[in-house]
Amino acid sequence: MKKIETIFKEKKNLLSIYFTCGYPKLEDTTKVISELEKSGVDFIEVGLPYSDPLADGPTIQDSSQKALENGINLDIIFDQLMTIKETNKTPLVLMGYLNQMLKYGEEKFCQKVVDCGIDTVILPDLPMVEFENYYKPLFEKYGITNVFLITPHTSDERIRKIDSYSKAFIYVVASASITGAKGDISNQQIAYFERIKGMNLKSNLIVGFGISDKETFDTACNYANGAIIGSAFIKNLGENGVDKINDFIKPILS
């Protein structure tokens, strides 16, 4: 069984943290993963910096730009991830964009992902029809699981189809906008969460976009298996550095 699937069987209220590879400094990728593991997060979303990140808000866009300016690229990222393959025990999920995989070479990309000990990817801009016709068999060939995103505008029919294809979890986007800390979770978002929960899907659910602290994390966990914090963590990382990661995580898990 895949690492990411195992943790859903072992625990509730899972906390995942998104970070951008090569940020704040080029060599910080493995340091961030190591500190997140020590802090007790359940799985880590490894962000691949991209020049045109369609789903990302200003904070993550800025971190991607700085990482690219630091000289980060996919070859460096894969080399970095290889160095911690044997020591890191926290499941990693790779988050990037379809064009990154296309430019790198699909087969080469998949092989590198597997070589790094990763078996789950998130490609927000991967069209369903492309997944069904081409990427599903490609990912199956390499033992890779793809995570789909749903939003408040996603139809029940599409959600059911995504549910049928999902093995790790469904990424429940908390709002129809880009990533970023947005304060309290609104009644409208609660109604959306209740709608999804009421569908009794077979898949695990993880809420993301706008989750920023213990309050929003706990609220999201009332309707899902856990939540992902991204922009708020990136902001803290930029302001306080790698050494203060546990200070950010500890209050959320308390």
β-strand 14-20 against 226-229: which pairing, if any? Answer: parallel
**Strands annotated E in the chain:** 14-20, 43-47, 92-95, 120-122, 145-147, 149-150, 170-173, 205-208, 226-229
Are the beta carbons of 19 and 46 closer than 8 angstroms?
Answer: yes
What phi-psi label fits residue 186: left (phi over 0), alpha (psi between -120 and 50 degrees) or beta?
Answer: beta
Can you say whether the dihedral through the CA atoms of 116, 119, 122, 126 is positive or negative?
A: positive
> DSSP states of 16-74 as a string?
EEEEETT-SSTTHHHHHHHHHHHHT-SEEEEE---SS-TT--HHHHHHHHHHHHHT--H
Rounded Cα distance between 131 and 133, Å, is 6
Residue positions annotated with a catalytic role: 45, 56
Q: What backbone phi and psi angles, to 5 degrees, belong to 201?
A: -70, 155
